[in-house]
Amino acid sequence: MFKRLKKKGFTFSLNPPQVLSLGFILIILAGAFLLSLPVASADGTGQHFLDALFMATSATCVTGLTVVNTGQFYSFFGEIVLLLLVQIGGLGFMTMATLIALVFRRKITFRERLILQEAMNHNSTEGIVRLIRKVLFYSLIIELTGAVLLTLRWWFELPFKTALYFGIFHSISIFNNAGFDLFSSLKDRPGSLVHYVDDPFVNIITILLIVLGGIGFIVISDLLTYRINKKLTLHSKVVLSVSGILIAVGCLIIFIFEFTNTHTLQPLSPTGKILGSLFQSVSSRSAGLNTLDIGSLRQATQFFLIIMMFIGAAPGSSGGGIKVTTFAILIGAMLAMVRGKEDIVMFQRRIASDRIYKAITFTMISFLIIVVFTMLLSTTEEFSFLGILFEVTSAYATAGMSLGLTPQLTSFGKILIVLLMFIGRLGPVTLAFSLTITPDKEHYRYPEGKITIG
């Protein structure tokens, strides 16, 4: 996997972050080329390369932001290209490469294991290939189950072939938290899942797919082996507990803010109000689908969704954001400081200091990226500040929700959003490591100093 190039006596090598970055770039460029072909568009005229690049990036980075109407603009070929990019981007191209290697019974080298460790955000290379096998198996089973259930539901209102195709497409898109949908291709149908806002079956299946795709494969594996081990790792406990709290709190806040909004919850039945609030709470942290018109939400709700998108999903998943574990550590640090404690303790386990530093670093870098890109887009795009902040956060967190800015973006704005989606999918720390040379280890430490805080 690592290629060494010798030129003029110098040896160049790619570290794992560089391999991941380069791999995603190559996949995006290949996808953009395919989407720009005339055969990829429904009318056969092709797509401007910048728009094709935007869509390929959005699919590979499992974001869901679109500059064209997916269900109406693309042909069957174009939709399949998008779906393949979503699948590769959701599982990770290294996971797909490992699948090919396993099929041909090729040995996975130690360097390749290092790249897989980086791609899966795993703590070590131990058992990484076994984890990849589980990822592929779990993904296949979950997507297949979702496709069957959604097909059976949509068969009541659509021809079987259309229902089957919609079931497969949306199951893969939803599980990988991509947010692409084809419902706008149907006559007199709104986009996304707005038509099914009060349909319990579609809501429950979609929510389960989003949650399973957002908690990460490490947690799924942990849950499936719980009957044998009778215990969960600290990582799984934190992800499940924090995710559950965020979903419940998010549902309650959206319900309260939108209960009297005549454009969202107010006209719905009591069941529809609960389902609408719950779905937006679950989807906002990464999935990008919606059953309520996001543009019709009150500004307080839209700002709350920005916070939810910023937090994001779990590490090792296809979701973005700073991740729920990072958010949990930040809250733990705040509570420990308020209580006068030196250690952050979760489930009777002390959090290592390097995890705390990493959480703070990742959060600050993410915050600064969003601030800088929001300022840049505010100078190039004619749109409300909240709408620009919403779009920037959605792109960086690969959430895919939109207030309508994306289709109106200037060429420069599209390039900025493409960069944001790419940075958000890889993670700013991984991208930074791929662009810097590994520094020499320091052999000394400076004297300790103190500064006043607060």
Work out the percent of the chain whose per-residue pLDDT is above 90: 52
Spell out the residues 6+ positions from residue 410 whose beta carbon is closer than 8 angstroms to its own: 380, 381
Contacts of residues 109-116 at CB distance under 8 Å and 24 or more positions apart, as own/partner, are 109/1, 111/1, 111/2, 112/1, 114/16, 115/1, 115/16, 115/19, 115/20
Beta bridge partners of 41: 74
Amino acid occupying residue 54? F
Distance of CA 2 to the CA centre of its chain: 27
Report the interhelical angle of 16-35 vs 428-435 (nearest 10°): 110
Q: How far apart are CA 441 and CA 387, in angstroms?
A: 44
Using alpha carbons, select from 85, 87, 72 the residue that is nearest to residue 147: 87
286 band by pLDDT with thresholds 50, 70 and 90: confident
Measured CA to CA, the distance from residue 13 to residue 3 in angstroms comes to 6
Q: What is the pLDDT of residue 291?
A: 92
Burial status of residue 429 (CB atoms within 10 A of its CB: 0-12, 13-18, 19 or more): middle
Is 60 in contact with 27 (CB distance < 8 Å)?
A: yes
Range with lowest mean pLDDT among 53-62, 389-398, 441-450: 441-450
Question: Which backbone phi and psi does 416 adopt, to 5 degrees?
Answer: -65, -45
b/e map of 250-263 (b: 16 or more CB within 10 Å)?
A: bbebbbebbeebee
| Mean pLDDT value across residues 208-219 | 88
Q: Report how far residue 420's alpha carbon sits from residue 414's, in angstroms, rounded to the nearest whole number.
A: 10
Alpha helices in 92-175 (DSSP H): 93-103, 110-120, 128-154, 160-175
pLDDT tens, residue by residue, 297-322: 999 999 999 999 999 988 878 788 89
Q: Give Cα separations from 65 to 255, 268, 291, 348 (angstroms).
A: 25, 27, 16, 41
pLDDT band at 11 (very low <50, low <70, confident <90, very high): very low
Q: What is the mean pLDDT of residues 36-50?
A: 92
Residue 134 pLDDT exceeds 80: no
Burial environment of residue 350 by CB neighbours within 10 A (0 to 12, 13 to 18, 19 or more): exposed
On the 0-12 / 13-18 / 19+ scale of CB atoms within 10 A, 296 is middle
In 3D space, the residue among 71, 135, 149 whose CA is nearest the CA of residue 97 turns out to be: 135
- Measured on CA atoms in the order 120, 86, 287, 225, is the torsion positive or negative? negative
- From the list 87, 70, 88, the residue with the least C-alpha distance to 79 is 70
Q: Which two tokens stand for residue 433?
A: 């490591």
Residue 83: pLDDT band with limits 50, 70, 90? very high
Whole-Å CA distances, 254 to 204, 259, 261, 273, 309: 18, 8, 11, 10, 14
